[in-house]
A and B are shown apart, each in its own frame.
Chain A
Amino acid sequence: MASARARNIASKIIMYVILIIFAFIMLVPFVWMILTALKTNQEAISVDPFYIFPAHGWHWENFAEVWQSYNFLYLYKNTLLMILFRVICACLTATMAGYAFGRLKFPGKNFFFALVLVQMMIPAQIFIIPQYLMVSKLGILNTVTGLVFPGIVTAFGTYLLKTGYEGLPKDLEEAADIDGCNIGQRFLRIMMPLTRSSMVSLGIFTALFAFKDLMWPMIVCTRAETTTLSAGLAKMQGQFSSNYPTMMAAAVLAVVPMVVIYVIFQKQFVEGIATSGGKL
């Protein structure tokens, strides 16, 4: 008995040690990013590895410098609007299509749903050149509409919501049918509110991937004041390449909003990714 307990404690210690080592590896880049952002360039390039904290005060002016010279206000605004519209469009179109595929009978259903599945299997890179040419022809380069454009509909979201609707009990709608509700009312009043968790998953998934995307904003929004945080950083890197504190300050500014949202809505984030990512 005693040896089993000792073994138990030993294995717990090993597990904690491994977890702590990895937690450390995960956190070091973040910590170093923040510390560098608060140093002068002179301090940042000091080769003493134990020179961890800025010695001559915290240099918040690095943030002011990037904020002004790279108009972060625009970057935030563009990113926020792109995410907002993409989430609204994705949730709206996917919940409607998902309901039809999950609950209604109609001719051609299997064919249309097969199209949805095919889209999910094709790598997205094949769509980019023609999508860019369309955006260019429509004259919406360097606009939020152009940023949102490829994300108006979502095959993956349709699939996700379809599974959500299928999981709901059958008799729910029958009762409403007897009460004389038409399909539209049934959808709006009864079914849609019940798939809220799938919608939240899709929303988080859409927001995260829109936020992280680099190639599309780089292609369609080439002007500094029309682009997103990701693409803005790519531009900045060329400009400040040897001023490390400024670059790290820019990285902090780009990372902070999503991290704060994540820390507040942790549970929804992790669950959203677990349910939606698991179905991708």
Chain B
Amino acid sequence: MKEKALKKKRTQAQKREMIWAYCFIAPTMIGLIVLNFYPAIDTLWQSFCKTGDFGKGNIFIGFANYATVLSNSETWHSLWNTIKYALIEVPFGVVIALVLAVFLNKKLKGTSLFRTIFFLPMVCAPAAVAMVWKWLYNQQFGLINNTFGTNVAWISDPNIAWISIGIIGVWSIIGYNMVLFISGLQEIPGDYYEAAEIDGATGIRQFFHITVPLLSPTTFFIVQTRIIGALTIFDLMFMVMDKTNLALQNTQSIVYLFYTYAFTNGNKGYGATIVVVLVIFIMLVTFILQRAEKKLVYHP
């Protein structure tokens, strides 16, 4: 009898816990369904539709949008532009941040001042950052051309503009990557370095034989988040490249293209299709990265 009562009490407690738990997760779950899961499905649906006049009435047209998006060279061009941007931002942003983080982890004097400075772009709106760089890049009056006595069309020459935007991207992201690297470095036990010191290993050898392998989980994580971040770049491109810029075709990213179709031209169906293509591409990249993780990251 006693056991039965105890069991009953326990199930009652479980029931109470369950009710509390559902109340606690309800706002988040309802929010996620309304604000994220329904929209994801709706976007998918719209990608099969033609947006009617005045943005009203979706007419089902099957794969027609996909056929247009995939056969339009503009799509492939902007996908390639996005990859080119990532090829600058990710490697340079990661390597420079790693070097700076290693230096700042050496407990030199003035470390915190340097850290403050490197992190500064992270707290600035990309819109403002882009405006300032656009002024620095100005062909006639910009600081860069005037200082070096050059006459480069930094943001309107199609062959150079993508590099110029990549530089802004690197400049903006170094501090963020660096902060993540520093917290990764602090988890490496100091004994490894002491042992290496006794064995007479120099700083550079210590870096390649201790720091690089032991930091590889952090590095992999940063590379992965930055690749996805770079593939969805929008703000810098939008602020730097005017609609009239000759280099626009050679620099606009895929999200920029999406924005133009969905919100400037009001063709939501076509915009939705671009986004679905982008999401599939990103999922593919994530999948490949996950497979590569086992080989690239050092597991002791």
Binding site for B on A (CB under 8 A): 7, 11-12, 15-16, 18-19, 22-23, 25-30, 32-33, 36, 44-49, 92-94, 96-97, 99-101, 104-107, 109, 112, 115-116, 119, 121-134, 149-150, 152-155, 158, 182-184, 187, 208, 211-212, 214-215, 218-219, 229-231, 233-234, 237, 244, 247-248, 250-251, 254-255, 258-259, 261-263, 266, 269-270, 273-275, 277-278, 280
Contacting pair A123 B232 (CB below 8 A): yes
Give the one of A44, A131, A229 with max B CB within 10 A. Answer: A131
B119: A residues at CB distance < 8 A = 262, 269-270
Q: Which of B154-211 contact A (CB under 8 A)?
A: 171, 174-176, 179-180, 182-184, 202-203
Chief secondary structure at chain A's binding surface:
helix
- Contact between B27 and A278 (Cβ–Cβ < 8 Å)? no
Minimum CB distance partner of A267 in chain B: B112
B141 at the interface (CB under 8 A from A): yes
Of B120, B268, B276, the contact of A26 (CB 8 Å cutoff): B120
Mark interface residues in B222-252 (1 if CB within 8 Å of A CB, else 0): 0001001000101100110000000000000
In the complex formed, the residue of B with least CB distance to A278 is B180
Nearest B residue to A236 via CB reads: B131
A187 to B255, CA, bound (A): 42
| Bound form: Cα–Cα A270–B122 in Å | 10
| Contact between chains at B114 and A19 (CB < 8 Å) | yes
Stretch among B64-72, B87-95, B100-108 lining the A interface: B100-108
- Which residue of B17, B108, B228 is within 8 Å of A104 (Cβ)? B17
Instruction: Select B17's contact among A97, A132, A183, beta carbons within 8 Å.
Output: A183
- Given A16-B108, A215-B259, A36 contacting B103 (CB threshold 8 A): no
Q: Is the CB of B24 within 8 A of A99?
A: yes
CB distance from A58 to the nearest CB of B (A): 18
In the docked arrangement, what's the CA distance between A48 and B18, Å?
72
In the complex, what distance in Å separates the CA atom of A106 from the CA atom of B19? 8
**Given the known A-B contacts A18-B99, A101-B25, A153-B28, are A277 and B16 also in contact in the complex, defined by CB atoms under 8 Å?**
no
B147 at the interface (CB under 8 A from A): yes
What are 19 A-B pairs at a CB distance below 8 A?
Answer: A18-B99, A19-B108, A29-B132, A32-B132, A93-B28, A97-B24, A106-B22, A116-B28, A123-B278, A129-B43, A129-B275, A130-B39, A131-B35, A154-B28, A219-B263, A229-B128, A247-B131, A261-B123, A262-B119
Query: Which of A25, A184, A258 is within 8 Å of B20, CB to CB?
Result: A184
Interface residues of B in 24-70 (CB under 8 A from A): 24-25, 27-32, 35-40, 42-43, 46
Known: A47-B146, A115-B32. Contact between A237 and B268, CB under 8 A? no
C-alpha spacing A233/B176, complex, angstroms? 23
Question: Would you call B141 and A153 a contact (CB within 8 A)?
Answer: no
The answer to whether A258 touches B36, judged by C-beta atoms less than 8 angstroms apart, is no
In the complex, the answer to whether B31 meets A255 with C-beta atoms within 8 Å is no
Q: Are A22 and B39 in contact (CB under 8 A)?
A: no
In the complex, are the beta carbons of A152 and B20 less than 8 A apart?
no
What residues make up the interface of B, taking CB atoms closer than 8 Å to A? 14, 16-18, 20-22, 24-25, 27-32, 35-40, 42-43, 46, 96, 99-100, 103-104, 106, 108, 112, 114-129, 131-133, 135-136, 138, 140-141, 143, 146-147, 171, 174-176, 179-180, 182-184, 202-203, 218, 221, 225, 228, 232, 234-235, 238-239, 255, 258-259, 262-263, 268, 271-272, 275-276, 278-279, 282, 286
Residues of B within 8 A of A153 (CB): 27-28, 30-32, 35
Which residues of A have CB within 8 Å of B272? 129
- Decide if A26 touches B121 in the complex (CB within 8 Å): yes
Q: Are A32 and B136 in contact (CB under 8 A)?
A: yes
Complex alpha-carbon distance, A106 and B24, angstroms: 11
The one of A44, A104, A125, A158 in contact with B141, judged by C-beta atoms closer than 8 angstroms, is: A44
- Asked if A254 and B143 make an inter-chain contact with CB atoms under 8 angstroms apart, the answer reads no
Neighbouring A residues of B218 by C-beta, 8 Å: 278
A93-B123 contact in complex given A115-B32, A126-B276, C-beta closer than 8 Å: no
Cross-chain contact B141 with A45 (CB below 8 angstroms): yes
Closest 4 A/B residue pairs (Cβ): A153-B31, A130-B39, A100-B24, A106-B21
The contact of B37 among A11, A115, A233, by CB within 8 Å, is A115
Given contacts A122-B279, A233-B127, 5 further A-B contacts (CB under 8 A): A126-B40, A127-B36, A229-B125, A255-B125, A255-B128
CB < 8 Å: which of A29, A101, A208, A250 contacts B136? A29
Partner of A105, one of B17, B35, B238: B17
